[in-house]
Amino acid sequence: MMMTMMMIRIQDGLSGSWKEGSSYSSSGYWSWSAPSDQSNPSTPSPPLSADSLKPFRMPSLGAVAPDDTLDDHDSSSLLFDEPIPRKRKNSMKVMFKCLWKNCGKVLSTAAGIQRHIRTIHLGRNCESECSDGEEDFYYTEIKLNTDAVAEGLGGLSTVAPPSGGPTPPGGALPPEPHHRKGDTHPHTHATNGVKGESGACIAGGNSTPLSRSAPSALYLVHADHAYQATAPVSIPSSTSSSFSFTPTTNSSISISWQSPPVTFTGRSASPTHTRSQGFGEQQQRSHTITALSSPPRATSSLSRKSRGEGRKCRKVYGMENRDMWCTACRWKKACQRFVD
């Protein structure tokens, strides 16, 4: 859906082409601009899609109907309902975490965790054959970004259990069979719990709503005019480098969501920072502006607003990067990004 819109927009841009922009607007240039529409996502981290989002989406946006069904095959092929697979899903890694009290052990294989539970917690020595599947209820499947796995894992096993207390993340969930024997994938189901958990639990017990809402907000943010939101980040003087810059900013933002829960905690306050993305530019330069509403602009009853002393988008980014300008500048209106 978004894609189509984008496409349309791009096309528009092409046909309408800017006359000021003149020749430089080779198609290649525009192709870059496309992502810029969802800008923040930038190259590497699209709309925090799959990985980062997944953990929160389910709980909050019940929109996607077949969550459960999805999860069913989930474990094998991490296919999210995400229609736009722009994210490298391959970065996802499934781990299994023991939910037994005071344990929280994390293993990379189901077999491993099962055996762990069987032997350590259930006190059974026999091989998997004699398993009645009960172990399934004592561990949970968690998905991690491999990028983050390295450190995330460390965090998980060490941080998760303590933060949530000695009890498993399920909350007060005692290691007690949940009687879901009908389930084909007990652990998959558990995954759900983890999804919520990874975001919330770490943040400290009940921060759930917060951590949940944040990402969705982020989602919206990308909707439009994202380009303005991103660009402002201290664009260097060199026009050439500015390109790569936008993306960087983005990724840094999305990363906060992607990163393992632990990291997330620190960011838990960021919903503010997040929700404002569309707004971001203003925030970032806010220190200079103070209040957008109070600029001297109104003061000068004179017809023209003298001349902006500060650097404006045009000057800063140049015509070549016109799409990095703030909307106002592109419309030949008073610059919003570099308000005087």
Partner DNA sequence: GTTGCCGGGCT
Partner DNA sequence: AGCCCGGCAAC
Instruction: List, in sequence order, every residue forming a beta bridge with 145; answer none if it has no partner.
Output: 92
Note whether 308 binds DNA by CB under 7 A: yes
Count residues near DNA (CB under 7 A). Answer: 29
Q: Which is nearer to DNA, 31 or 69 (CB)?
A: 31
260 residue type, one letter: P
d(C-alpha 2, C-alpha 279), whole Å: 20
Note whether 24 binds DNA by CB under 7 A: no
User: Measuring CA to CA, how many Å separate 139 from each of 13, 23, 154, 163?
Assistant: 52, 60, 17, 18
Note whether 305 binds DNA by CB under 7 A: yes
Q: What is the DSSP letter of 75?
A: T
- Pull the structure tokens for residue 248: 């960087």
Computed on alpha carbons and rounded to an integer, the radius of gyration of the chain in Å comes to 24
> In the set 225, 268, 275, 279, which binds DNA (CB under 7 A)?
225
Note whether 329 binds DNA by CB under 7 A: yes
- The torsion angle over the Cα atoms of residues 162, 168, 173 and 179, rounded to 10 degrees, is 180
Nearest of 324, 218, 235, 322 to residue 279 by alpha carbon = 218
> In the set 13, 44, 165, 278, which binds DNA (CB under 7 A)?
13
Note whether 185 binds DNA by CB under 7 A: no
Q: Which is nearer to DNA, 60 or 230 (CB)?
A: 230
d(C-alpha 153, C-alpha 95), whole Å: 9
Residue 321 beta carbon to DNA: minimum distance, rounded to whole angstroms: 12
Q: Interaction with DNA in 268-297: which residues (CB under 7 A)? A: 297
Residue 202 beta carbon to DNA: minimum distance, rounded to whole angstroms: 37
Residues that bind DNA (CB under 7 A): 12-13, 16, 18-20, 225, 297, 303-308, 311-315, 319, 327, 329-335, 340
